[in-house]
């Protein structure tokens, strides 16, 4: 029984335990401890993976229609598994106290979380294409179950998701079957050899199918429409889990297929004539466009959860960019961003969840001023948004910096510019987020709100703290990334605790963060020690051009927060993809109606006559006989 078996069994055991105990009070604590135990198992796997760079195999395997399916986890899967289990840990910690107590379906949430973890672990330990596909479908349906649990709008969003996911899965299936038709087995190695020998048109097909199929889960344009509503309609803790890691399964699968099975050399050799682009460039551009578009859609959202989930889509683009550059720096940056993103996004979602827990809404136009009531949630969100915006000293900055550097080294200035513009858009939208929720005027109905209980704030703050620590000491994360990089087969990136040293400009976060802290200390000295005492005043003691402010007067600038920008870029929000989707649905509706109308036994003789005439004509012409 290998460690991987223990991991699988552990995940299943959690699901079982939650099915039995999920409704009881200590369920959240039990789940949290179990995930901690799973994390420990993962930690035990690390030395094994580091020693031999080999995969840890599971002893479960079976044969079907001549194919052998087995599971083994390599460094890449291990890296993602680490994030998965950690995300589950924090999600169940968050729900272990008051938050879970007020949910009416906490047992189901616990079970589904465990099932999701199990499905993801299965996917992350796939060692061949068929196993990858099976794991992929498991993950898709598990997250469908998770998203749909609330019914109503959530069910609607989940339904949309599953259609997209299934369409993607079918594309993937087609690609896998094509590869299998040319390869000796489903093994990645065999598949790689087979792909290299394929004719160029088939290669294009395979690449397109795989990118589209797995891209659906990542929310790659134009398959992104499902993601934001689906993730944001899920209850808080589960939503944090989904946001942190679920969409990254698509990235994992893309890394496995594009980098390991197909290989960047094949991708770069697939060139399009006349536009100087190859397959890799096209996917990278797709990623970059996803990044920009999703971020600027996020900018226009008026719901905190939607805003964050739209950002999730955009951030996926960064990761894909970094990974596809396929240099040590790029892959390290991309993979590191997966982890960093998971941390700060979970913190942000949990923070919004605690705000929702107290206020009952996440509508950005109906909140404000909560900083005085929920300071800890505010601090979490502050750390989170600094990470999301990619500003120092949080971890998001380091991974983004590495991706930028790798884009520079790969001489992709336009992609880099798009990445920068995305960051700018992110800063704008996260400020809107924190401003509209926590800053500004406190509404009268939120006067008596209290901070969320410790069971919620502690995991949140811990995530925020991790965000800061891994920002100041990126070497910690980079060590984990090493395992994944080794598994992909990319040369390892030389790094130290503070960052990386490169000939073309280095980054030492220890000094950057140290300087920031020192300078802020100096700022604190200048501010607090010099000058007169300050006194906090009531929020209505505010300069409003001589106007008297009062509770019934909304004096919080929140709706349409960026009017100037909206005037310029507003006309670009045409909703082309939404409309394309809607017309597709209309079309299928009309076709369906027509077909249903055609099912009338009274018309059958006519059909038969037509079929006979057409068939006989076809028989004659195709038969080639006189």
Give the binding range for another protein (CB under 8 A) out of 20-28, 100-108, 323-331, 607-615: 607-615
Interface with another protein, residue 559, by CB under 8 A: no
Nearer to another protein, 411 or 574 (CB): 411
CA distances from 215 to 192, 207, 223, 251, 313 (A): 20, 11, 7, 8, 11
Nearer to another protein, 360 or 563 (CB): 563
Interface with another protein, residue 159, by CB under 8 A: yes
Preceding omega of 15 cis (within 30 degrees of 0): no
Q: Which of residues 443-462 bind another protein (CB under 8 A)?
A: 444, 447-448
Interface with another protein, residue 204, by CB under 8 A: no
Q: Are 331 and 490 in contact (CB under 8 A)?
A: yes
Interface with another protein, residue 167, by CB under 8 A: yes
Q: Which of residues 340-379 bind another protein (CB under 8 A)?
A: 369, 371-372, 375, 378
Instruction: Say how far apart CA 136 and CA 142 lie, in whole Å.
Output: 10
Quote the least distance from Cβ 240 to another protein, whole Å: 24
**Residue 546 region by backbone torsions, left for phi larger than 0, else alpha for psi between -120 and 50, else beta:** left
Interface with another protein, residue 576, by CB under 8 A: no
Instruction: Say how far apart CA 368 and CA 619 lie, in whole Å.
Output: 74
Give the binding range for another protein (CB under 8 A) out of 102-110, 250-258, 464-472, 602-610: 602-610
Residue 372 gets which letter from DSSP? G
Give the binding range for another protein (CB under 8 A) out of 25-33, 42-50, 88-96, 137-145: 137-145
Quote the least distance from Cβ 564 to another protein, whole Å: 3
Nearer to another protein, 330 or 425 (CB): 425
Q: Which of 61, 559, 579, 620 binds another protein (CB under 8 A)?
A: 620
Quote the least distance from Cβ 394 to another protein, whole Å: 11
Q: Which of 348, 416, 463, 473 binds another protein (CB under 8 A)?
A: 416
Quote the least distance from Cβ 589 to another protein, whole Å: 6
Instruction: Say how far apart CA 117 and CA 246 lie, in whole Å.
Output: 10
Q: Which of residues 71-100 bind another protein (CB under 8 A)?
A: none
Q: Rounded to the nearest 5°, which phi and psi values hold at 69?
A: -115, 125
Instruction: Say how far apart CA 72 and CA 70 lie, in whole Å.
Output: 7
- With tokens 């900018």, the residue in question is 299
Q: How many CB atoms lie within 10 A of CB 590?
A: 10
Q: Which of residues 470-509 bind another protein (CB under 8 A)?
A: 503-508
3-state secondary structure of 104: coil
Interface with another protein, residue 197, by CB under 8 A: no
Q: Which of 204, 285, 431, 573 binds another protein (CB under 8 A)?
A: 431
Give the binding range for another protein (CB under 8 A) out of 81-89, 111-119, 278-286, 546-554: 546-554
Q: How many CB atoms lie within 10 A of CB 387?
A: 32
Give the binding range for another protein (CB under 8 A) out of 109-117, 339-347, 472-480, 535-543: 535-543
Q: Are 290 and 224 in contact (CB under 8 A)?
A: yes
Instruction: Say how far apart CA 33 and CA 15 lie, in whole Å.
Output: 13
Instruction: Say how far apart CA 141 and CA 6 lie, in whole Å.
Output: 23
Q: Which of 43, 272, 494, 585 binds another protein (CB under 8 A)?
A: 585
Nearer to another protein, 25 or 593 (CB): 593
Quote the least distance from Cβ 555 to another protein, whole Å: 6
Interface with another protein, residue 274, by CB under 8 A: no
Instruction: Say how far apart CA 324 and CA 321 lie, in whole Å.
Output: 5
Buried b (16+ CB within 10 A) or exposed e, 280-313: bbbbbbbbbbbbbbbbbbbbbbbbbbbbbbbbbb
- Residue 308: both structure tokens together: 């964050």
Secondary structure of 547-583 in the HEC alphabet?
Answer: CCCCCCCCCCCCCCCCHHHHHHHHHHCCCHHHHHHHH
Q: Which of 397, 460, 461, 478 binds another protein (CB under 8 A)?
A: 397
3-state secondary structure of 78: helix
Give the binding range for another protein (CB under 8 A) out of 52-60, 188-196, 466-474, 599-607: 599-607
Nearer to another protein, 26 or 523 (CB): 523
Indicate if the alpha-carbon torsion angle 229, 235, 240, 242 is positive or negative. Answer: negative
Residue 469 burial (C-beta neighbours within 10 Å; 0-12, 13-18, 19+): middle
Cα-based angle 346, 424, 354 (whole degrees, multiple of 5)? 25
Q: Which of 43, 193, 417, 580 binds another protein (CB under 8 A)?
A: 417
CA distances from 527 to 245, 264, 372 (A): 41, 53, 21
Interface with another protein, residue 467, by CB under 8 A: no
Instruction: Say how far apart CA 76 and CA 442 lie, in whole Å.
Output: 46
Interface with another protein, residue 408, by CB under 8 A: yes
Q: Which of 26, 151, 489, 575 binds another protein (CB under 8 A)?
A: 151
How many residues of this chain interact with another protein, rule: CB under 8 A?
Answer: 162
Give the binding range for another protein (CB under 8 A) out of 97-105, 331-339, 351-359, 381-389: 381-389
Interface with another protein, residue 65, by CB under 8 A: yes
Give the binding range for another protein (CB under 8 A) out of 10-18, 31-39, 267-275, 431-439: 431-439
Using alpha carbons, select from 319, 333, 341 the residue that is nearest to residue 245: 341
Interface with another protein, residue 47, by CB under 8 A: no
Nearer to another protein, 167 or 465 (CB): 167
Quote the least distance from Cβ 137 to another protein, whole Å: 5
- Strand duo 67-73 + 56-64: pairing: antiparallel
Interface with another protein, residue 285, by CB under 8 A: no
Interface with another protein, residue 580, by CB under 8 A: no
Q: Which of residues 503-522 bind another protein (CB under 8 A)?
A: 503-508, 511-512, 515-522
| Residue 126 β-bridge partners | 71
Interface with another protein, residue 618, by CB under 8 A: yes
Quote the least distance from Cβ 48 to another protein, whole Å: 28
Instruction: Say how far apart CA 254 and CA 290 lie, in whole Å.
Output: 16
Quote the least distance from Cβ 232 to another protein, whole Å: 16
Q: Are 286 and 221 in contact (CB under 8 A)?
A: yes
Interface with another protein, residue 541, by CB under 8 A: yes
Quote the least distance from Cβ 454 to another protein, whole Å: 20
């Amino acid at each position: 029984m290998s460690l991987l078996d223990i991991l699988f069994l552990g995940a299943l055991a959690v699901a079982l335990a939650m099915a039995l105990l999920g409704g009881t009070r200590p369920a959240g604590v039990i789940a949290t401890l179990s995930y901690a135990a799973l994390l420990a198992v993962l930690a035990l796997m690390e030395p094994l993976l580091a020693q031999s760079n080999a995969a840890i195999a599971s002893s479960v395997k079976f044969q079907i229609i001549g194919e052998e399916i087995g599971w083994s986890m390599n460094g890449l899967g291990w890296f993602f598994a680490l994030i998965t289990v950690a995300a589950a840990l924090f999600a169940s910690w968050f729900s272990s106290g008051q938050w879970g107590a007020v949910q009416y379906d906490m047992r189901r949430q616990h079970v589904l979380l465990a099932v999701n973890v199990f499905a993801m672990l299965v996917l992350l330990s796939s060692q061949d294409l068929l196993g990858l596909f099976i794991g992929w479908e498991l993950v898709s349906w598990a997250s469908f179950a998770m998203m749909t649990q609330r019914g109503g709008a959530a069910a609607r969003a989940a339904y949309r998701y599953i259609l997209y996911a299934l369409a993607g899965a079918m594309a993937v299936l087609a690609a896998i079957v094509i590869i299998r038709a040319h390869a000796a087995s489903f093994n990645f190695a065999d598949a790689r050899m087979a792909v290299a020998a394929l004719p160029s048109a088939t290669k294009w097909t395979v690449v397109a199918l795989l990118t589209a199929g797995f891209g659906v889960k990542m929310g790659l344009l134009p398959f992104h429409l499902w993601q934001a509503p689906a993730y944001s309609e899920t209850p808080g803790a589960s939503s944090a889990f989904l946001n942190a890691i679920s969409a990254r399964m698509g990235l994992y699968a893309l890394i496995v297929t594009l980098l390991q099975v197909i290989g960047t050399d094949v991708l770069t050799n697939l060139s399009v004539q006349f536009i100087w682009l190859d397959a890799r460039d096209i996917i990278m551009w797709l990623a970059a466009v996803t990044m920009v578009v999703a971020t600027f859609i996020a900018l226009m959202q008026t719901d905190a959860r939607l805003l964050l989930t739209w950002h999730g889509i955009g951030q996926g683009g960064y990761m894909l960019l970094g990974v596809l550059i396929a240099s040590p720096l790029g892959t390290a940056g991309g993979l590191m961003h997966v982890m960093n993103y998971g941390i700060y996004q979970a913190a942000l979602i949990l923070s919004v969840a605690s705000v929702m827990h107290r206020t009952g809404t996440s509508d950005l136009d109906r909140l404000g001023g909560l900083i005085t009531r929920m300071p800890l949630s505010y601090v979490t969100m502050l750390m989170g948004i600094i990470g999301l915006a990619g500003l120092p000293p949080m971890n998001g900055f380091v991974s983004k910096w590495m991706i930028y550097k790798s884009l520079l080294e790969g001489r992709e200035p336009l992609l880099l510019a798009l990445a920068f513009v995305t960051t700018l858009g992110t800063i704008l939208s996260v400020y809107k987020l924190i401003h509209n929720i926590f800053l500004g005027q406190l509404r009268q109905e939120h006067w008596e709100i209290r901070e969320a209980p410790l069971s919620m704030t502690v995991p949140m703050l811990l995530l925020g703290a991790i965000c800061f620590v891994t920002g100041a000491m990126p070497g910690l994360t980079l060590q984990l990334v090493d395992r994944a990089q080794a598994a992909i087969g990319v040369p390892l990136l030389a790094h130290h605790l503070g960052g990386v040293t490169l000939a073309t400009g280095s980054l030492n976060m220890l000094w950057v963060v140290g300087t920031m802290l020192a300078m802020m200390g100096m700022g604190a000295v200048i501010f607090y020690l010099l000058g007169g005492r300050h006194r906090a005043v009531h929020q209505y003691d505010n300069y409003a051009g001589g106007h008297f402010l009062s509770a019934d007067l909304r004096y919080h600038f929140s709706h349409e927060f960026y009017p100037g920008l909206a005037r310029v870029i507003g006309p670009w929000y045409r909703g082309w993809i939404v409309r394309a989707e809607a017309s597709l649905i209309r079309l299928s509706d009309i076709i369906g109606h027509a077909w249903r109308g055609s099912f009338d036994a009274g018309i059958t003789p006519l059909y038969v006559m037509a079929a006979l005439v057409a068939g006989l004509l076809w028989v004659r012409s195709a038969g080639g006989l006189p």
